[in-house]
Amino acid sequence: MFMVDLLQWWYFRGWGVFFSGLKTKLGDTADLFSIGDMFRTLFKPFRQISAGASGSEALDAKMAQFFDRLISRIVGMFARLTIILAGTVVLILELIFGTILMILWPVVPLLPVCGIVLMIMGVTF
Amino acid sequence: MEEMNFNYNSLRARNARRGKVFGKPSMLFVMTLVLIVSAIGGVTLIVMRMAVGWICISLAVIVLMIIYWTKKELITVPVNERRGINGLLSNDVLGAMPRNPHVKDLPAVIAKTNSGKFLHVRYGISKQLLEEVASMLPPEVGPIFQTAKKIQEGTNSEEIHGAILATSILANYPNSEMLLKQMRLEMVDILDGIVWFNYLNGLVRNMNIHRHTGGIGRDLSFGYIPTLQRFGQNISVVGKGAMRTQLHLSEHKEILAKMTEIFSNNGRQNVALVGPDGSGRATIVNAFAEYLMDADSKLPERLKYRQIFRLDAGAILSAGAERGQTEALVMRILGEAYAAKNIIIWLENAELFFEDGTGSVDISNVLLPVLEGGRMRMILTMDRQRFLEISAKKPALANALNKIMVTPANEEETMKVMQDQVPVLEYSHKVSYTIWALKEAYRLSERYVHDLEMPGRALALLDASGAYANQYKLVTAESVQKAIEKTAGVKMQQTATADDKARLLNMEDLIHTRMIDQVQAVKTVSDALRRSAAGVRNEKRPIGTFLFLGPTGVGKTELAKAVSEVYFEGEKNIVRVDLNEFVRAEDVARLIADGAEDSMSLTAQVSKQPFAVVLLDEIEKAHPQVLTTLLQMLDEGILRDSKGREISFRDTIVIATSNAGAEKIREYVNNGVSLDSVKDDFMNWLMSTEMFKPEFLNRFDEVCLFKPLSPADCLAVLDLLIAGVNKTLAPQKIGVVLNQDAKELLVQRGYDPQLGARPMKRIVQKTVENIVAKAMLAGQAGSGMTITVTREMIESELGQ
């Protein structure tokens, strides 16, 4: 009865539980790497350098601020792209790993049987 | 009815029992160990060309499946409402249920569940009690399950857990109401306990859910804030596993919504939360901070991930030695916060920044333009009284702020807030709180804690009570009483002991050991106090309110002192106010002055000594405005001090004395009329003279008329005075006795119909005490001797 209940759960509710767990995990990873926010703020200045300037300075000061901000935006863009890239790689890896496990899920209960067969066959490496 | 039959072999029941075995941490550890050893061992054996390694791998796979099953299903068997009672019973109940349960089996099952233990510890619903009740019920569990289902629906519980089953057993017992009353509980309290358990259970479950707070790149678009980080504290940083700040008050939720609206719109970006200390201003700000950091909330983009920094006024003031430096520092902090674009500045106790004083500095010339500009996001929290004072001085400040009033919580809301905070307090004190502790904390803090408002005042007392848990680490009502005694300096009265009851029953005799005659007045007061002690009194009024009327020196003040000694076990428990010092309307301010300004004001004295006789002497001389102020005290047992705090007089005995109508009383007595028979006439006469307004006289429980003392009474007073002299001389083992003719002479000389017994005291001092002093100095009186005072000695002392 024990194994019947375990297998029944494994092929019905268990599969669903694993799938929703995978979804939650992907959501957590997306949040960890702030992927949505990184895209939304891709060209914003990095750490608001020169953001506090009042705008009443002389032309050369304004030019300096403009270039500061431009550099800040470029730095910010690269920093964000790096995070997006890292996050995307992790997400893709998780997705691939998760999908493989999802596909292998129904096979897992068969592995012990395979193991016994392999032992009887005397397969080794 | 069929759905109420318990099926021992249902899938949920089977899984619950499995979960009980496999879900134990020790079992999970062993299984994990087996998994690792089998996997590594299996691979090693296969590599070593031993095919038996496949068996180890197979074992590892099976163990892995069981571990996953246990964690995802067996530990928390999900509810299945379609399966009747078998789908609704909680995991721990199912796991402990026997094959064919009877009602008598349920207490043991309940005792094994978390909710059953919760009800036992906090409400005293023990296994033994449930067993006793269960033994008186029919053995079938069907009716219990049916009632449990109703309770589950009524309390919006997800499942039927042990506490619901326990409540169901009690509800099926016909005399449950009486049983619970003996425990000072009602059924509604237990139902409230179920809701409390569900709430705490939910908190524990939510702690394990990962919060989305923006991730590692969240703050990349926002500026650096080194100065702000030095002088402020980021309250938006929430530790992993920390419990979320809950807002239980509907008003607080509305305030949160209003704050969101203000900061989302284009108007002035500031909010001033104005309310008394303890009303939950800081809790609202903390909840707002968490809300802003919640990635899953539906906040506008311009508010999401904004962080709230609390400015540390003390650190800022100590960093800027001079005013100019402080202002420059504040400007730098605000500039940084503005440039960073994700900061909301919180000025907690904002009054510290708007007025000069100890630990505060007035930098309104810097802050006011910022607030008026409205671009810098700021939250100010301020005490209501201080806000009014500052607004009066700086009207521009009040106009620049989006003011939101925070009002104190009511009893129901305060109980919910306390229930919410109990896990935090239990964790810090390593104790458990009972429901009676919570109720007592509300009751006592309402009466005796004046510097905070609800729910803060009840929480503060509950926190302090943690240190007074009993030997079982339980915080009970007694723990709370001890805490209030220590923290507020309030001596709690215990009136239930046999000694106390005897004292109350013999009150007249005890009073007459120190007081002569006035039998009627003593009886009236004693009867009233006995009624009060027996619980036949309005809890929302003082214990007793009495007006003593009569000539000078007849024992009015003495009776007040005697009442204090007998009722409060000490003559020192008396708060005396001479109302002849309150003859002007302006004197009302002195009467109700804050303790910090005048420690001798009536309100300050009673807040320090709430169990006392309040003696209001010579009340007829007080200004009518003063008497009007006292009306609320007589009527509702409370008086507001100059700070607007309610001071409780509900544990006091208020005694007002007056000489008003003394001549009239004397006239009655001289004409041989009993004062009791003319009391109504006298009162009507008194009202007609307009000395007291009828509404004032009617506020007293009893008006006692004191008759003038006769020469015979004065003789008895003299005996009391001589007894007093003997008491003083007792340490020196010297006694004094007076001959009868000496006594008669003293009464003859000391008796004054106008001044009563008062001259007697003076003449005893002048004669008897002088005689004793001289004898002692002359060596004629020593230890173990008794001095006999004769008429001749008195005459000699009086110069005759």
User: Under a CB-based contact definition with an 8 Å cutoff, are residues A91 and A29 in contact?
Assistant: yes
What are the tens digits of pLDDT across the range B281-325? 999 999 999 999 988 888 888 898 999 999 988 888 888 767 678
Cβ distance of B72 and A121 shorter than 8 Å? no
Q: Does A110 touch chain B (CB under 8 A)?
A: no
Q: Which of A1, A34, A76 sits opposite B218 (nearest CB)?
A: A34
Query: CA angle, B272 as apex, B266 and B275 as ends, to 5°?
Result: 150
* Paired tokens of B528: 């009233």
pLDDT of amino acid B230:
92
Binary contact (B57, A111; C-beta < 8 A): yes
Q: Is the pLDDT of residue B188 over 80?
A: yes
Answer whether B212 sits within 8 Å of A27, measured CB to CB.
yes
Model confidence band, residue B800 (pLDDT cutoffs 50, 70, 90): low
What one-letter code names the amino acid at B249?
A: L
- pLDDT by residue (tens digit) across B247-260? 767 888 899 999 99
Picking from A49, A109, A113, the nearest residue to B65 by CB comes out as A109
Pick from A21, A41, A122: CB nearest B51: A122
pLDDT for position B489: 65
Q: Which residues of A touch B65 (CB under 8 A)?
A: 6, 10, 108-109
Split at pLDDT 50, 70, 90, the class of B144 is very high
What pLDDT shows up at residue B250? 80
**Whether pLDDT at B495 is above 70:** no
Q: List the domain range (segments joined by +) for residue A50.
A: 2-121
pLDDT score of B760? 82
pLDDT confidence of residue A49: 65
List all residues of chain B from 57 to 96 with a beta carbon under 8 Å from chain A.
Answer: 57-59, 61-62, 64-66, 68-69, 72-73
**Would the CB atoms of B58 and A38 count as touching at under 8 Å?**
no
Tens of pLDDT, residues B32-79: 999 999 999 999 999 999 999 999 999 999 999 999 999 999 998 999
Phi, psi of B434 (to 5 degrees): -90, 165
Q: Minimum mean pLDDT among B25-34, B124-133, B181-190, B204-213: which range?
A: B204-213
Q: Is the peptide bond before B542 cis (omega within 30 degrees of 0)?
A: no
| β-bridge pairing B653-658 and B646-648 | unpaired
H/E element, B11: helix B11-22
Nearest to A51 among B69, B73, B341 (CB): B341
- A5 and B65 within 8 Å at the Cβ level: the answer is no
Instruction: Report the alpha-carbon distance of residue B689 to residue B123 in Å, rounded.
Output: 58
Which residue in the set A52, A76, A114 is minimally distant from B220, CB to CB? A76
Using CA atoms, how far residue B84 sits from B6, B87, B170, B789, in Å, is 9, 5, 22, 96
H-only helix segments in B306-373 = 313-319, 323-340, 364-373
Residue B534 has pLDDT above 90, yes or no: no
Name which of B220, B224, B227 to mutate to probe chain A: the one with the most chain A Cβ atoms within 10 A of its Cβ.
B220
ipTM: 0.87
Q: Which B positions 308-337 lie with beta carbon below 8 A of chain A?
A: 335-336
Q: Report the residue from B48, B212, B223 with minimal CB separation from A31.
A: B212
Is pLDDT of B593 > 60? yes
Which residues of B, range 221-280, sit inside 8 Å of A by Cβ?
221-224
Q: How far is A68 from chain B (nearest CA, A)?
A: 14
Q: Under an 8 A CB cutoff, do A14 and B222 touch?
A: no
Which among B581, B606, B516, B595 is positioned nearest to B553, based on CA atoms?
B516
Residues 4-43 of A with CB under 8 A from B: 5-6, 9-10, 13-14, 17, 21, 24, 27-28, 31-35, 37-38, 40-41
In this prediction, residues B554-565 reach a mean pLDDT of: 87
Would you say residue A122 has pLDDT above 50?
A: yes
Mark yes or no for CB contact A32/B216 under 8 Å.
yes
Per-window interface: A 47-86 vs B, CB < 8 A: 47-49, 51-52, 76, 79-80, 83
pLDDT > 80? residue A118: yes
pLDDT at B257: 93
Integer CA distances (angstroms), B110 to A51, A67, B7, B75, B79, in order: 63, 72, 18, 18, 18
Gap between the Cα atoms of B524 and B516, Å rounded: 15
* Strands, sheet with B343-347, edge to edge from the N-terminal-most edge strand: B232-234, B307-311, B343-347, B378-382, B270-274, B403-405
* pLDDT value at residue B792: 85
**Could you tell me which residue, B415 or B244, shows the higher pLDDT?**
B415
Please tell me if residue B682 touches chain A, with a CB cutoff of 8 Å. no
Residues B494-525 as b/e (b if ≥16 CB within 10 A, e otherwise) read: eeeeeeeeebbeebeebbeebbbbbebbbebb
Select the residue from B21, B31, B65 to test the A interface by mutation, using most A Cβ atoms within 10 A.
Answer: B65
Per-residue pLDDT, B1:
46
Average pLDDT over residues B681-691: 83
Residue B498: which pLDDT band, with cuts at 50, 70 and 90?
Answer: low
Q: What is the DSSP letter of A109?
A: G
Average pLDDT over residues B486-499: 64
- Pairing type for strands B432-433 and B474-475 reads parallel
Taking all residues of chain B, what is their mean pLDDT, rounded to a whole number? 88
**Which ranges in B545-639 belong to alpha helices (H)?**
556-567, 587-591, 602-608, 624-636
Indicate whether B667 pLDDT > 70: yes
Q: Which residues of B touch A19 (CB under 8 A)?
A: none
Give which of B256, B215, B271 is closest to B402, Cα–Cα: B271
Average pLDDT over residues B18-28: 96
Q: What is the DSSP string of B426-456?
A: HHHHT-EE-HHHHHHHHHHHHHH--SS-TTH
pLDDT at B333: 93
Residue B430 CB burial class (10 angstroms; 0-12, 13-18, ≥19): exposed
Residues of chain B in contact with residue A32, where contact means CB-CB under 8 angstroms, are 215-216
Does B54 touch chain A if contact means CB atoms closer than 8 Å?
A: yes
Residue B340 distance to chain A (closest CA, Å): 6
Ramachandran area for residue B272 (φ above 0: left; ψ -120 to 50: alpha; else beta): beta
| The pLDDT of residue B190 is above 60 | yes
In order of B39, B221, B255, B281, B694, the CA distances from B377 in angstroms are 58, 17, 17, 17, 57
Among A37, A111, A118, beta carbon nearest to B217: A37
Cα radius of gyration rounded to whole Å, chain B? 37
Angle subtended by helix axes B662-670 and B679-688, to nearest 10: 150
pLDDT at B496: 52
pLDDT band at residue B752 using 50, 70 and 90 as cut-offs: confident
Q: Cα distance from A98 to chain B (closest Cα, Å)?
A: 15
Which chain A residues contact residue B216 at CB under 8 A? 32-34, 83
Cβ of B210 under 8 Å from any chain A Cβ? yes
pLDDT at B550 over 80: yes
Find the closest chain B residue to A82 by CA distance: B217
Residue type, position B341, single letter: K
Domain count, chain A: 1
Note whether B51 contacts A108, CB cutoff 8 Å: no
CB burial of B242-258 (b: ≥16 within 10 Å; e: otherwise) equals ebebbbbbebbeebbee
What percent of chain B shows pLDDT beyond 90? 46
Domains of chain B: 11-23+75-207 (1.10.1780), 226-405 (3.40.50.300), 411-487 (1.10.8.60), 498-705 (3.40.50.300), 711-797 (1.10.8.60)
Summarize the confidence of residues B570-594 as an average pLDDT: 90
Q: Is B298 on the interface with A (CB under 8 A)?
A: no
pLDDT band at B670 (very low <50, low <70, confident <90, very high): confident
- Contacts A26 to B, Cβ<8 Å: none
What is the rounded average pLDDT of the residues B595-609? Answer: 86
Please indicate whether, in this complex, the C-beta atoms of A17 and B73 are within 8 angstroms of each other: yes
Predicted local distance difference test score (pLDDT) of residue B579: 92
Count CA atoms within 13 Å of residue B720 on its CB side: 18
Is the pLDDT score of B27 beyond 90?
yes
Report how far residue B103's alpha carbon sits from residue B169's, in angstroms, rounded to the nearest whole number.
Answer: 8
Which of A3, A8, A47 to mutate to probe the B interface, most B CBs <10 Å? A47
